[in-house]
Copies of this chain bind each other. A is one copy, B any other.
Amino acid sequence: MDHDLDLHADGPELTAALVDIASVSGEEGPLADAIERALHRLPHLQVTRHGNTLVARTDLGGAGRGKRERVLLAGHIDTVPHAANFPSEWGSRRRRLSGVGTSDMKSGVAVQLRLAAALNEPNRDVTYVFYECEEVDTARNGLYLLSRNAPETLQADFAVLLEPSGGAVEGGCQGTLRAAITASGARAHTARSWMGKNAIHEAAAILNVLSSWTPRKPVVDGLEYHEGLNAVAISGGVAGNVVPDECVVTVNYRFAPDRSEQEAQAYIRDLFAAWPVDILDSAPAARPGLTSGPAADFVAAVGGEPRAKLGWTDVARFAELGIPAVNYGPGISEIAHTPGEYVEAAKIVAAEQALTRWLTA
Residues of B within 8 A of A237 (CB): 231-235, 250
Closest Cβ neighbor of A195 among chain B residues: B334
Q: Is the CB of A114 closer than 8 A to any CB of chain B?
A: no
Known: A191-B174, A310-B191. A201 touches B231 (CB 8 A): yes
A207 → chain B, closest Cβ, in Å? 3
Q: Is the CB of A204 closer than 8 A to any CB of chain B?
A: yes
Closest Cβ neighbor of A204 among chain B residues: B207
Instruction: For chain A, give the interface size range.
Output: 35 or more
Copies of this protein, total: 2
Interface SS of chain A: mixed
Residues of B within 8 A of A235 (CB): 234-235, 237
**B201, B229, B238, B240: the one within 8 Å of A207 (CB):** B201
A176 → chain B, closest Cβ, in Å? 7
Residues of B within 8 A of A178 (CB): 240
For chain A, residues 304 to 358, give those with C-beta under 8 angstroms from any C-beta of chain B. 310-312
Closest Cβ neighbor of A191 among chain B residues: B311
Question: Per-residue 0/1 for A19-40: is the Cβ within 8 Å of any B Cβ (1 yes, 0 no)?
Answer: 0000000000000000000000
Q: Is the CB of A200 closer than 8 A to any CB of chain B?
A: yes
Q: Is the CB of A249 closer than 8 A to any CB of chain B?
A: yes
